[in-house]
Amino acid sequence: MEVLVRLVGGDDHVYPNFLDVMQWLADSNLLEMIVDKLSPSCPPEVHANAAETLCTITRNSPSALATKLSSPSFVVRIFGHALEDSHSKSGLIHSLSVCISLLDPKRSAIVSPLMHSFRHQHMYEPSIPVNSETINAMLPKLGEWVSFAESCDLLMLLNVSSDEKILPTTYGELRPPLGKHRLKIVEFIAVLLRIGNEAAEKELVNTGTIQRVIDLFFEYPYNNALHHHVGSIILSCLESKNDAIVDHLLQECDLIGKFLQTDKNPVLSGDSNQPTLPAAGKCAHRVGNIGHITRISNKILQLGSSNSRIQACIQENSEWNEWQTNVLQERNAVENVYRWACGRPTAFQDRTRDSDEDDLHDRDYDVAAL
């Protein structure tokens, strides 16, 4: 595995004739063999190794191998393995990891000790624009996902209605838990929207994908990883130059209305139709997405000052205007850490740090690698 990663360029091109070697590998059937290892018939550890190798190739773009991997035929092939078997969550997760890396090569789609040793060299390199043909090859498959899940009632995509799994938690139960595969789908959507491709935005609106993702934000109020990705999706929609996706988010998805409703009653609902349920006989806990709601609401106000479309939507909502004046502003004042009279005493601010403290502050810890 390590030899293969080094061969495809994971060691910063240290060997001579690198371009010639990449072209030779591209002319061979190496990529076909690696991509086929994403098939549901292979075990999860094979999926992980194949995806890690393919992500390494994308991070070393531009190269002949990376160009071949991002071609429409290979994108369709990767998505084909993701959709081949609805029961293969591993195949779906790792196939999407490769697609995410195709859209954003610098993103840490897969974290492993091997990749960690190679990835720092690419952190500060300029971004390479995504080929529109790569994105266009993904969009038809995105539509197939939705129709495939609805018509067959399979546990694909973001559909949780037929999943009977139950996960007990400290606050109650998840019926069902969101799962890594659904979280990976939401992450893929977030990265796809961040590209700013108008065709992708239109497809995600027309299929109802954005609306479903917004619903997941409220259905799983304690899944911070989900909230992070959904927040990125909302921000991409708000910053889009496409008025249609802004209107879809604020009007059809009723984002502001859902924010206000959650903030007005910020406790876990006892509705048995919801996937997150409170523990029986105990007081319902406060939901865990209020911080994200506050941050996104502040971003809406900030963008509204320069975007007439957003400004028009929030101005006509009297309940929002009252809430942001009486609640949001006060909350921002309370949560402003620069106004807190606590922490390190002023007398110690200028004291020279000792060697142990210097070592602690100067050391760069990569949390993702821990």
* Per-residue model confidence as pLDDT tens digits over 254-272: 999 999 999 999 999 888 8
Mean pLDDT, to the nearest integer, of 75-84? Answer: 88
> At residue 231, does pLDDT exceed 60?
yes
Q: Check residue 277 and report its DSSP letter.
A: E
Cβ 78 vs Cβ 94: under 8 Å: no
Give the whole-angstrom CA distance, residue 333 versus residue 75: 48
Q: What residues contact 282, with CB distance under 8 A and at least 6 apart?
A: none
pLDDT bin (cut points 50, 70, 90) of residue 177 is: very high
Per-residue pLDDT at 76: 92
pLDDT bin (cut points 50, 70, 90) of residue 314 is: very high
Q: 6-20, 136-150, 355-369: lowest mean pLDDT where? A: 355-369
Per-residue pLDDT at 118: 43
Per-residue pLDDT at 195: 93
Per-residue pLDDT at 161: 80
The CA radius of gyration of the chain, in Å to the nearest whole number, is: 23
Give the whole-angstrom CA distance, residue 53 versus residue 330: 50
Cβ 64 vs Cβ 74: under 8 Å: no
Each residue's pLDDT tens digit, 133-145: 999 998 876 655 5
CA angle 259, 232, 191 (to 5 degrees): 145
Q: 66-75, 114-123, 180-189, 233-242: lowest mean pLDDT where? A: 114-123
User: Which residues are registered as beta bridge partners of 154?
Assistant: none
Q: Which two tokens stand for residue 269?
A: 């609902």
> At residue 109, does pLDDT exceed 60?
no
Q: 188: exposed, middle or buried (C-beta count within 10 Å: 0-12, 13-18, 19+)?
A: buried
